Homo-oligomer: A and B are copies of this chain.
Amino acid sequence: MIQKKIMTKNISTGQKKLVADWHALMRTFIQPEDDAARNTLLKYMEQILFGLHEFLSHNVGFTEAIPLKELGRRFTETRLSETPEKKLADVITDLVEDIAPYAVNVASPYFVGHMTSAIPFFMVHLKTIVSALNQNVVKLETSKVVSVIEKQLQAKIHRLIFQKTPEFYREHVQNPETTLGVFIEDGTLANITALWVARNKLLAPKAGFAGVEAEGVPSAFRAYGIDRLVVLVSALHHYSIKKAVGVLGIGNENVIALDLDNNNRIDLPALENQIQQLQSEKGTKILAVIGIAGATETGTVDPLRKMAGICSRNNIHFHVDAAWGGPTLMSDKYRHILDGIELADSVIIDGHKQFYMPMTCGMAYFRDPHHMDAVRYHSNYVIRRGSADLGIKSLAGSREAVSLVLDSALKIMGTRGYALLIEHGIETAREFAQEITSRNLFQLVTPPELNILTYRICPAPLAEKLAAAEKEQRHEINESLNHINIAVQRMQREAGKSFVSRTTLTKGARNGERIVVLRSVIMNPMTTIEILRQILDEQEKIFYSVFKNYDI
């Protein structure tokens, strides 16, 4: 009926193009133009929704089938078209048939280079429903039950991490005054959120001072008699830590990157020494110590319980970056790796990583349900004082209801379902490490603690030389190896069948040597040890074909 009324309205534009008038526009707004369009859409949507993995393997490209520069040349028109460029069905067809082939098939079991992987097909259904409902979780008036479910889910994840008493959760699960966590775009913004809260807690309002949020960092330093605020974290920290400290006005050179022990974990004696030294410096304060639960480059986990003890004794905010490793808590078999995380003041986890959600879902959790009070904002038209609007304590404003995706996925999978995926990753990575060690051409650089490992091509003759070499020669050999590894990784990526990433490690057991390594992230349940063997085979083949005459 409403639609009919609209149809009689006609804002004429005097044009005879695809969208010529209000009628045509309303049709496009509400339904496919015609049966042909509907059928085209239906075909693709069915492929996507009910044959996702096959759809991706048939339709989505891998990597360097076409060089980036050439691709760039095809997308240079910068005028927006006034009239529709194409009919809806044609735009969708283009997306599927002309664009997707040049995207990256991150769902391929041969794509083991980054923290992006296959997702369960139903995630796309869930995301479709969330898009259709189009709720805005910033306020109850545009989300209602979805805000309530989000709060419940936050309590569930908080409980997974912090294991407080049932009474605690009864009190806080739907308490509009308290906040157990917050959803935000991604892990970087979640880290910023956690350190923002820590900053505002440390430099809180007091007599004669309205707090750092109100007065700024320089006033806060004066009020508290300090001239430097630092963050301590291992050298394997994610780059977002520096960004967070930079954004917050503290200066990213105040991120102190600590040495690693031989297992790529933060060196505890170094941490304690550093804290002692900093505390003896007049005017220096420690904003936070950060533990890593799943380093981006190596997957390693810091000794969280011991770090928590050190922080507690020294009254320092203990933040854990569990963007990657957090979901390991769902595995009875491996949750001990994150032992002590429940003592953290704040923890971040990414949903689009090991919760297998589509892009993106960052989350920050706080042990104390009042910590986020330090970042409260209000306005006259939303997030009013006394309301239960979730936007009151959040770095962002408008937000998609991705919590509904995670909540549903947890119901569908159960924590045991997730545990199976995570255990598969860890155990396959261990098998892979054995395979690497058993081959002459390769050297395992960082063994997998979770499901990430690094290794490098290191031909036996060079390995021998390296073992016997003095410092200067060692550097020379490593430079050769770096050159080889960069070349092989690139060629494999360009061949377009499989993908491992590469990074450069310097700290820990490497004694400052700059070492280029190949990095594998095993999270796709379809990635088997057979596939990983094929990836090594291919690397061997590339190496022997390119470097057979190389003087090693």
Contacts and interface: CB of A to CB of B under 8 A. Distances in A.
A530 interface: yes
A528 B155 CA distance: 42
A351 B360 CA distance: 17
A186 interface: yes
Given A78-B173, A218-B217, A420 B144 contact: no
A232 interface: no
Nearest to A526: B2
Interface in A4-50: 5-6, 9, 11, 13, 15, 17-19, 22, 25-26, 28-32, 38, 41-42, 44-45, 48-50
Interface in A413-444: 413-417, 420-421, 423-424
Given A86-B411, A380-B297, A528-B5, A132 B56 contact: yes
B249 A249 contact: yes
B248 A249 contact: yes
B128 A84 contact: no
Contacts of A141: 63, 104, 113-114, 493, 499, 501
A383 interface: yes
Given A84-B413, A103-B146, A116-B134, A189 B185 contact: yes
Interface in A82-104: 82-88, 91-92, 95-96, 99-100, 102-104
Interface stretch (A239-247, A300-308, A542-550): A239-247
A509 interface: no
Contact of A415 (B82, B378, B502): B82
B127 A128 contact: yes
Interface string A495-507: 0000101111100
Residue of A217, A248, A350 with most chain B CB atoms under a 10 A cut-off: A217
A467 interface: no
B127 A416 contact: no
A334 interface: no
B131 A124 contact: yes
Q: Which of A17, A146, A148 has the most CB of B within 10 A?
A: A148
B18 A414 contact: yes
A80 B398 contact: no
A536 interface: no
Interface in A348-382: 350, 352, 358-360, 362, 377-382
Nearest to A358: B131
A77 interface: yes
A552 interface: no
Interface in A226-273: 227, 229, 238-240, 242-243, 246-254
A149 interface: yes
Copies in the complex: 2
B81 A213 contact: no
A309 interface: no
A341 B120 CA distance: 45
B61 A38 contact: no
Interface in A318-353: 330, 350, 352
B102 A145 contact: yes
A234 B203 CA distance: 29
B5 A30 contact: no
Given A71-B144, A132-B124, A398-B360, A26 B412 contact: no
A410 interface: yes
Contacts of A502: 381
Contacts of A416: 13, 15, 17, 19, 82-83
Given A104-B141, A213-B252, A186 B399 contact: yes
Given A227-B218, A253-B215, A410-B80, A116 B104 contact: no
A148 B185 contact: no
Contact of A131 (B123, B160, B424): B123
Contact of A114 (B118, B142, B151): B142
A397 interface: yes
Contacts of A135: 103-104, 106, 359
A68 B386 CA distance: 14
A81 B96 CA distance: 37
18 contacts: A3-B526, A6-B525, A19-B414, A63-B141, A74-B148, A78-B152, A80-B156, A80-B160, A84-B413, A95-B126, A95-B129, A127-B127, A185-B399, A214-B252, A216-B217, A216-B249, A217-B218, A218-B218
Q: Which 8 A-B pairs have the closest CB atoms?
A: A249-B249, A216-B251, A102-B145, A188-B397, A381-B503, A72-B174, A185-B185, A359-B400
